[in-house]
Amino acid sequence: MARVLVTGVTGQLGFFVADLLAKRGDQVWGLVRQSTLGRRNVGDDNLPYRPITGDLLDEYSLLSILEEVQPDRIFNFGAQSFVPASWTQPILTAQYTGLGVVRLLEAIRHVTPHCRLLQAGSSELFAEADRSPQDESTPIRPINPYGIAKAASISLVTNYRESYGLFACSGILFNHESPLRPARFVTRKITSAAWRIGQGSRERLALGNLGVYRDWGWVPDYVEAMWAILQCDTADDFVIASGVSHSLEEFVAAAFAEVGLDWRDHVDLDGSLKRPNDIAYSAGDPAKARRVLGWSARTSFAEIVSLMVRAERVGPAAVS
């Protein structure tokens, strides 16, 4: 039985990894900010973790938490993770997504140097990649404040691993979905609208650039990969991806087809919703994860879209 601390536990990655580890018999603590206490969360009646109050902006709270919990494993998913918001809140994004990592690494170094850390990376690191698909050796070239902050976090993990001998790893995740994806993200915006329209809503869905391609995976698959990373004998970094890319138009078409509709009858293209600096094509190469971890994504693109649309009927609280 391991003692595990999960930051960002109220998000989709944090919740699913906490659920996975609790089912394995581990003792799981979830770091929650004071401002989130009292909010309705998935599975509030039977949380897979023990809430513990702290903040990645406050190094003293992290030191105190590590002293109390004495974790063997830490999964750091705490971040400002919405790319558009990183343009309007660049300093906050840098503080949580970038500097929050160094605060956590410093706390680990001083209090629990034996602890193993999994840091969540992002495909936004490779926004201006010189090759496709992208793997662990692809040069890091982000194009937005979120990607830049994630680049800093990856570099910090590598630096503390090499300089202090910490067992610190990065899982570089390409796009990952689940019914717990917040409504402000485009995939959830699409699946929830498709479900409502399929039930008779007369609304229309406005979208921007449908020609972007993304490598989409299923969060429950990806948390298994992140668990496996921390079981390795040597700390290392891994790209976690499906290896297959699809256009946003394909995602929209599949979502509406799930409710028996043609998306073209219900979607309006709005040029004002296009991002000025968006990634046109994103694809990950998970060969290293397959070879070293024995992991590969199990859930297909079609299954992901179908599962998300069908989950709109029961709501995210039914997901575990």
Q: Which residues are catalytic?
A: 122, 124, 146
Question: Which DSSP string corresponds to 186-202?
Answer: HHHHHHHHHHHHHTT--
Distance between CA 21 and CA 220 in Å, rounded? 12
Sort residue 43 into left (φ over 0), alpha (ψ -120 to 50) or beta.
left
What the block records as the tokens of 283 is 């694809």
Identity of the residue numbered 117: L
Distance between CA 290 and CA 146 in Å, rounded? 28
Q: Are strands 50-53 and 213-214 parallel, antiparallel or unpaired?
A: unpaired
Sort residue 126 into left (φ over 0), alpha (ψ -120 to 50) or beta.
alpha
Distance between CA 153 and CA 208 in Å, rounded? 30
Distance between CA 89 and CA 217 in Å, rounded? 27
> Any residues with CB less than 8 A from the CB of 149 and at least 6 apart, and which?
79, 80, 86, 93, 94, 96, 97, 98
Distance between CA 45 and CA 148 in Å, rounded? 38
Q: How many CB atoms lie within 10 A of CB 288?
A: 17
For residues 98 and 79, the answer to whether their CB atoms sit within 8 Å is no
